[in-house]
Amino acid sequence: MTTKAKRGDRRIQERNHDPYKTKLKLIEPTVCPQCGAVFRAGRWQWADSVPFGTHQAVCQACRRIADHYPAGIVTMAGAFVPLHQDEILNLVRHLESLEKQLHPLHRIMNIENGNGALVVNTTDMHLARRIGEALRRAHKGELEIRYAAETSFVRVNWRRE
């Protein structure tokens, strides 16, 4: 005689927990009153015009910026960084502008300069990783990317002496 094993909870568990990701689908169109991004066709995007009477909700990127809670941190260190700071910052800002055209939630929150290192905080983990990879392609150096186990967060360290 065999007994049937009791089935546990079969809900799909979220692999990475992101406290800023909206749980419910927003009413379309919804506009972010802070940055002007529009939630349409199931995603945030830039729009030339927004119809009157559109629903409003603050987007994830603007909420992260207000809370000073980055999804990615890129640290650039080494003797090379202060000598080529303008060049590095131009690369970082150029990458952000390219990324932001297609993905309004991928932004740089702030750039901090201190102790011979540059630190870039981003609203999205993919932008942080792309910045690190672009630095390695353009200037060589050592790149380390560490993802947090249960949250949507990445720490990128790039170093060149």
Reported as a single tens digit per residue, the pLDDT across 87-101 is 999 999 999 999 999
129 half-sphere exposure, CB direction, 13 A CA radius: 10
Specify the pLDDT at position 28: 86
CA neighbor of 95 nearest in space, from 134, 121, 123, 61: 134
Tell me the per-residue pLDDT of 146-159, one tens digit each, with 9 for 90 and over.
Answer: 998 777 889 999 99
17 SS3 class: strand
Specify the pLDDT at position 130: 95
pTM for this entry: 0.82
Specify the pLDDT at position 20: 76
Q: How wide is the angle at C-alpha 58 spanned by C-alphas 53 and 61, nearest 5°?
A: 140
Amino acid at 108: I
CA 63 to chain centroid: 12
Percent of the chain that is helix, strand, coil (3-state, to 5): 30, 25, 45
Q: How is the chain split into domains, by residue range?
A: 30-58, 68-159
Specify the pLDDT at position 50: 79
Residue 131 φ/ψ, nearest 5 degrees: -65, -45
- Residues 49, 54, 60, 64, CA torsion sign: positive
What spatial distance separates the first Cα and last Cα of the chain, rounded to whole Å?
70
CATH of domain 68-159: 3.30.70
When pLDDT is cut at 50, 70 and 90, the band that residue 12 belongs to is: very low
Q: Percent of the chain scored above 70 by pLDDT?
A: 89
Residues whose CB falls within 8 Å of the CB of residue 134, separated by 6 or more in sequence, listed in order: 91, 95
